[in-house]
C-alpha cells in the first residue's frame, strides 16, 4: 500500500466495523441512476415473480400493501464509495413473497421500469436478507430513490437494490444485469470490496 | 502527476502519466485512492476530462471546501507525486462514433468534464456526427474549459452557453437556469431522436432529464451521470 504524500484524511465518527473498506459515511442520500427518474403511478404498478415457477405470481399495489410488512434499519453501501448508516425502510420481506414458491432456480434477475436489471443468487434474497421497500424513514419512497418500490438488499452494493423494481425472474442460470454487463462485479460484496469485474 | 491547469478559483485539471494505461472510451471515469501514513484510505471517482487521443489522462477536480479528497487534489498534490488510480470504469455513459447521433450533451457546472472528453474525442477522430452541447455555469469565470467552449473549432459541434448568476455586459447567450423553453430552443428536437447525455449535480440532472422526458424524448436514449458530493 503506497502512502500518498501529504494526505491525512478526515476520519469520521462512525463505527469502523460498520464501514466497509474504501467507503466513506455520508449523512445525505445521494442519487445515482443511469437514466431519467421513472414515475410509475401505483394504480399502474404490479409486482411479478416469473420464470422458473409453475405459475407466475402478480400483486397489484393494494394487494402488495395488504401483505405483512416490516420496518428494518440497515446500513447501505454504494459502489461509488458512500455508505449511509442506520437507514429505516418499510416493505415486504422477500421471504414473504417467495413463501410457497416452488422453484429449481438458483438465480434471480430483478427487473425495473425503464429497463434496468440486476442479477443475484436466489439464496441472497432469503432468510431475512432482502425486501421490496416502499417507505423510507416513515414516508412514501420518493421516485428519485426508487419509489414507488425498490428492492432492498443491504448486504450487497446498492446497485443490486434495484430502483423502480417490478418483479423477479427466477432463473436456472445466472445472467448479468445492467451494470454487471458494464464492468461491475457480478456479486458485489462490499466487505470484500467487489466493485468491478475481476475484484 | 505531470501538470495542473487551474481552470478557475474552484477547479483544477490534473494530468497524469498512467503506466500500463489500457485506453478508455470518452465518458468513462477513474477511481483515485489516497492513503494516509496510518493506512487510512479514501477513494473517490472522477470523470476523465481528456480525450482518448490526448497524450495524458486528465481529470478535473472541483474543490469542495468541506470535502476530504478534493482539497488535497487541488491544493496539496505536487508535480511528480504518485497516486493510486484505477480505471477506466463505466461502460454506459460513453460515446463512440459507432453510437451515431445526433448527440445532445447537457452539462451543469463541473458535469461538463466527461462531455468535454466526448467533444475532444469527436474532434480528434474528425467525426461528422452532429453534436450539440448546452452548458450551464454560474459565471464566465466558473465556466470550465472556457477557451474551448467559447471558441469552438469543430464544424459539427454547436455549443450553447447559459450563465445562471453573472453575465458579462456584452453577453449574448442565455442568463438563466436550463429550463423547458431553453431545451426547446437549443437542443435537437425529439423528432431527431438524439442520443442525450446529461451530467451535473443531482438536482440539475433530475430537472433536465425529467423535462426531456416530458418533452417527448425517448427515455431509453437519455443517459445520465449525477455528480453528487454527499447528496441530499
Round to whole Å and give the CA distance between A107 and B161. 48
pLDDT one-digit tens code per residue, B94-135: 999 999 999 999 999 999 999 999 999 999 999 999 999 999
Supply the pLDDT for residue A1: 64
Integer CA distances (angstroms), A171 to A112, A163, B231, in order: 16, 20, 36
Q: Cβ contact (<8 Å) for B209 and A28?
A: no
How many residue contacts between A and B have a Cβ separation below 8 Å? 116
> Of B121, B34, B28, B116, whose CA–CA distance to B75 is shortest?
B34
Q: Do B45 and A21 touch (CB under 8 A)?
A: no
Rounded Cα distance between A119 and A171, Å, is 10
Please write the tens of the pLDDT for every residue from B129-168. Answer: 999 999 999 999 999 999 999 988 899 999 999 999 999 9
Q: What's residue B230's pLDDT? A: 41
Instruction: Out of B83, B209, B212, name the one closest to residue A4 (CB).
Output: B83
Residue of A173, A179, A125, A186 lying closest to A152 (CA atoms): A125
Q: What is the pLDDT of residue B231?
A: 37
Interface test with A, best of B45, B68, B104, B196 (most A CBs within 10 A): B68
Q: For residue B61, which of B30, B89, B87 has the smallest C-alpha distance?
A: B30
The 3-state DSSP class for residue B136 equals strand
User: Worst-scoring range by mean pLDDT, A17-31, A64-78, A182-196?
Assistant: A17-31
pTM for this model (two decimals): 0.93
A residues 41-60 near B, CB within 8 Å?
Answer: none
Q: Return the percentage of chain B with pLDDT > 90, whole number.
A: 87
Contact A36, A114 (CB under 8 A): yes
pLDDT in tens, B195-207: 999 999 999 999 9
Interface of B to A at Cβ within 8 Å reads 33-37, 39-45, 68, 72, 76-78, 81-84, 89-93, 202, 206, 209-210, 212-213, 219-220, 222-224, 226, 228-232
Closest CA of chain B from A195, distance in Å: 10
Mean pLDDT of chain A: 95
Residue A38 has pLDDT above 60, yes or no: yes
Q: Please, are residues A30 and B202 in contact by the beta-carbon 8 Å criterion?
A: yes
Asked which of A38-52, A104-118, B34-48 is least confident by mean pLDDT, the reply is: B34-48
Q: Does A87 touch chain B (CB under 8 A)?
A: no
Amino acid at each position: 500500500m503506497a502512502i500518498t504524500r501529504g494526505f491525512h484524511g478526515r476520519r469520521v465518527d462512525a463505527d469502523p466495523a460498520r464501514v466497509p473498506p474504501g467507503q466513506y459515511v455520508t449523512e445525505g442520500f445521494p442519487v445515482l441512476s443511469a437514466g431519467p427518474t421513472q414515475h410509475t403511478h401505483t394504480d399502474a404498478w404490479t409486482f411479478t415473480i416469473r420464470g422458473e415457477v409453475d405459475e407466475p405470481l402478480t400483486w397489484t399495489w393494494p394487494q402488495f400493501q395488504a401483505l405483512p410488512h416490516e420496518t428494518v434499519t440497515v446500513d447501505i453501501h454504494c459502489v461509488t464509495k458512500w455508505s449511509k448508516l442506520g437507514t429505516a425502510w418499510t416493505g415486504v420481506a422477500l421471504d414473504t413473497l417467495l413463501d410457497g414458491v416452488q422453484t429449481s432456480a438458483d438465480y434471480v434477475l430483478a427487473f425495473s421500469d425503464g429497463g434496468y436489471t440486476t442479477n443475484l443468487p436466489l439464496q441472497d434474497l432469503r432468510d431475512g436478507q432482502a425486501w421490496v421497500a416502499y417507505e423510507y424513514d416513515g414516508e412514501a419512497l420518493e421516485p428519485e430513490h426508487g419509489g414507488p418500490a425498490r428492492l432492498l438488499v443491504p448486504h450487497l452494493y446498492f446497485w443490486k437494490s434495484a430502483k423502480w423494481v417490478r418483479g423477479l425472474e427466477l432463473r436456472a442460470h445466472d445472467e448479468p444485469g445492467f451494470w454487471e454487463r458494464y464492468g461491475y462485479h457480478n456479486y458485489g460484496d462490499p466487505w470484500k470490496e467487489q466493485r468491478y469485474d475481476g475484484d | 502527476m505531470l501538470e495542473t491547469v487551474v481552470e478557475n478559483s474552484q477547479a483544477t485539471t490534473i494530468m497524469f502519466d498512467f503506466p500500463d494505461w489500457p485506453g478508455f472510451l470518452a465518458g468513462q471515469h477513474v477511481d483515485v485512492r489516497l492513503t494516509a501514513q496510518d493506512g487510512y484510505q479514501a477513494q473517490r471517482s472522477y470523470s476523465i476530462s481528456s480525450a482518448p487521443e490526448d497524450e495524458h489522462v486528465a481529470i478535473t477536480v472541483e474543490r469542495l471546501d468541506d470535502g476530504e479528497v478534493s482539497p488535497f487534489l487541488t491544493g496539496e498534490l505536487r508535480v511528480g507525486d504518485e497516486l493510486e488510480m484505477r480505471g477506466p470504469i463505466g461502460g454506459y455513459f460513453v460515446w463512440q462514433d459507432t453510437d451515431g447521433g445526433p448527440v445532445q450533451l447537457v452539462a451543469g457546472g463541473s458535469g461538463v468534464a466527461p462531455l468535454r472528453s466526448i467533444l475532444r474525442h469527436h474532434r480528434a477522430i474528425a467525426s461528422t456526427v452532429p453534436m450539440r452541447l448546452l452548458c450551464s455555469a454560474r459565471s464566465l469565470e466558473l465556466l470550465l474549459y472556457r477557451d474551448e467552449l467559447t471558441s469552438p473549432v469543430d464544424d459539427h459541434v454547436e455549443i450553447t452557453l447559459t450563465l445562471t448568476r453573472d453575465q458579462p455586459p456584452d453577453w449574448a447567450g442565455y442568463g438563466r437556469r436550463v429550463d423547458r423553453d431553453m431545451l426547446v430552443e437549443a437542443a435537437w428536437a425529439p423528432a431527431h431522436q438524439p442520443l442525450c447525455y446529461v451530467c451535473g449535480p443531482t438536482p440539475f440532472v433530475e430537472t433536465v432529464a425529467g423535462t426531456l422526458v416530458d418533452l417527448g424524448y425517448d427515455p431509453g436514449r437519455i443517459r445520465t451521470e449525477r455528480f453528487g458530493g454527499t447528496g441530499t
